[in-house]
């Protein structure tokens, strides 16, 4: 009869493998642990160069803007159009230049799927400024 109170050699090997896998995923920035955000989810620092016509979420490009107009005194931006990819989450704020914005209104929002890619189109967009990124 096997003593179930002490781990056998296979259990030790599996535990070692799980710890090694967790460490590898952490180093690669795929998963985070308490108090640490994976690099894939961190926003770039404000001084990093970004395309001025691109919007970002979760530290990555998720769309392009057309004809941006700043209305800073009123606290919003307008865009003739925003063309976002399938990763864009409309329920969340996004980063544009050095600011965090949230869409207040847009006409004709739609989703287009072509060749496995989803594109979201928004026309006559008004986005409120939430603050600095």
Contact 88, 63 (CB under 8 A): yes
- Kindly report whether the global pTM for this prediction surpasses the value 0.75: no
Structural domain includes residue 2: no
Domain that holds residue 23: 9-39
Q: How far is CA 34 from CA 31, 40, 122, in A?
A: 10, 16, 37
Structural domain includes residue 67: yes
Q: Which tens digit of pLDDT belongs to each residue from 6-63?
A: 667 777 777 666 666 666 555 555 544 544 545 445 555 555 689 999 999 999 999 9
Better-scored residue on pLDDT, 10 or 87 = 87
Same domain, 24 and 58: no
Phi, psi of 32 (to 5 degrees): -120, 165
The alpha carbon torsion through 20, 21, 26, 27 (nearest 10 deg) reads 70
């Amino acid at each position: 009869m096997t003593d179930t109170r002490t781990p056998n050699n296979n259990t030790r090997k599996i535990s070692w493998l799980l710890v090694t896998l967790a460490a590898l995923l952490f180093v690669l920035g795929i998963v985070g642990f308490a108090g640490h955000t994976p690099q894939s989810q961190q926003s770039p620092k404000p001084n990093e160069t970004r395309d001025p016509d691109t919007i970002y979420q979760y530290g990555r490009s998720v769309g392009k803007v057309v004809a941006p107009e700043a209305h800073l005194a009123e606290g919003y931006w307008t865009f003739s159009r925003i063309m976002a990819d399938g990763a864009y989450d409309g329920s969340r704020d996004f980063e544009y230049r050095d600011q965090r914005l949230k869409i207040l209104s847009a006409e004709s929002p739609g989703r287009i799927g072509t060749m496995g890619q989803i594109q979201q189109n928004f026309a006559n967009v008004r986005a409120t400024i939430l603050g600095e990124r």
